[in-house]
Structure 1
Amino acid sequence: MPTERVHLPCGRDVRASLDTDADADALVVACPPHPQHDGHRHDARLGAVSDALPDRIDCLRFDYGPWDGGRGERADARTAREWAADRYGAVGLFGYSFGGGVALLTAAEVATPVAALSPVARLDDGSDVAAAVPRIDAPLWVGYGTRDDTVDSAGVADAARDCGGTVETFPADHFFVGQERRVGERVAAFFDAAL
């Protein structure tokens, strides 16, 4: 799938890569992991999801603007979602780790199908991700590794399960080494049904 560079219009320096197919009618916005821990749009988990999406669904992988403790990063995700909503008939949100928390909080503000892989329970600014999950009025998927000792996603997964969302576990640690493709396929299957 060809990739185009995109500069999202906002007051922050938000750059993105659009993995696109000429016939796509839907798009997934992919939120990267924590930018202060080398999180970026070229993350292997984001790439695996983009690669697994069917041709009818494009993927916009973006880098957050300057670090803002979670507030600005959520604004970046909203900007990316708005950009996508102006161009596509259906939009979903995906995020990994910190990006999973960002995606879930964004979906709680604007009803959007959302998938979060190993989401954090709280952003650096104190935003409670698990508490926001019940406000999501759209299809919801949460996945995490059973050997994850980096992020405790159990509270977010419990909240998703309580709201009727889909929760999947993987025999993996936080990084899903060697399982990126399988994870990508599971997330892509969710979006293929939700979008």
Structure 2
Amino acid sequence: MSEEILVPSDRDVRGTLDDPDREACVVACPPHPEHGGSRTDRNLRAVSDAVDCACLRFDYGAWDEGRGELADTRDALAWARDRYESVSLFGYSFGGCLALVAAARESRAGRPPAAVGALAPAARISPDIDAVAAVDDIACPVGVVYGRRDTTVDAAAVAERVRERGGLVEAVGADHFFVGQSAKAAEHLAALLC
């Protein structure tokens, strides 16, 4: 069962809430919206199917070079926190970078998510949105799954930093898009997230 959601925000942030009648929730950040990323992405759907909790998959508001999208991520997290006992963050690619940076900023504010997981996260979107630098500030369990053949983003750099701080790191034999391996990649993160 799924519900359509309008996230309170200064921007137009809409989502789909899967399995809403649970005690915990994962907020799932889509890949780059300028490259077709949306809440319907198959990797987000795979995570929603793999976790044993609710999952809010959302679309960012109008393109804002990462700044607005990061605000959208934090707004979606706030919406979920008002409704669920435990809320984790997940993101894929561009969304993976945003999930990690949002987790770091929320941690610095004394409100870390329950956990944060990223699938093939971009290492950096801008000087202020840097996933590698953010990892040290995350005050919750963190995990990264990436493809060994990924030439789209530098997910290995993020994975190395997560490994150094003792987080979950899994490399799978895939490229950036995890064609045919979305479910396998999602399973690696499911227990961490819920």
TM-score (structure 1 length as normaliser): 0.94
The count of residues paired between Structure 1 and Structure 2 equals: 188
Alignment map for 1:143-158 (pairs within 5 Å): 143-158=145-160
Counterpart of 2:134 in structure 1 is 132
Gaps of 5+ in 1: none
CA deviation vs aligned residue, 1:30-61 (integer Å, no higher than 9, x gap): 0000000000000000000001111xx10000
Does 2:96 align with 1:94?
no
Counterpart of 1:9 in structure 2 is 8
**What one-letter code is carried by the residue in structure 1 that aligns with 2:26?**
V
Query: Contact 1:71–1:125 at 8 Å: present in 2 too?
Result: no
Alignment map for 1:36-51 (pairs within 5 Å): 36-51=34-49
| SS in structure 2 of the partner of residue 61 of structure 1 | strand
1:120 to 116, 119, 122: 122
Query: Contact 2:145–2:188 at 8 Å: present in 1 too?
Result: no
Does 2:77 align with 1:81?
yes
- Divergent runs of 4+, >3 A: none
CA deviation vs aligned residue, 1:43-89 (integer Å, no higher than 9, x gap): 000000001111xx100000000000010000000000000001000
Moved more, 176-185 or 36-45: 176-185
Query: Contact 1:70–1:125 at 8 Å: present in 2 too?
Result: no
Gaps of 5+ in 2: 107-111
Task: Tell me how far apart the structure 1 counterparts of residues 20 and 124 of structure 2 sit (CA, whole Å).
Answer: 35
Q: What displacement does 1:144 show?
A: 0.3
Q: What displacement does 1:127 show?
A: 2.1
Does 2:28 align with 1:26?
no
Q: What displacement does 1:125 show?
A: 6.0
Query: CA 1:178–1:58 in structure 2 vs 1: closer, same or farther (change >3 Å)?
Result: same
**What one-letter code is carried by the residue in structure 1 that aligns with 2:31?**
P
RMSD across aligned positions (CA): 1.1
Give % identity.
54
Task: Tell me how far apart the structure 2 counterparts of residues 181 and 116 of structure 1 sit (CA, whole Å).
Answer: 14
| SS in structure 2 of the partner of residue 80 of structure 1 | helix
Counterpart of 1:106 in structure 2 is 102
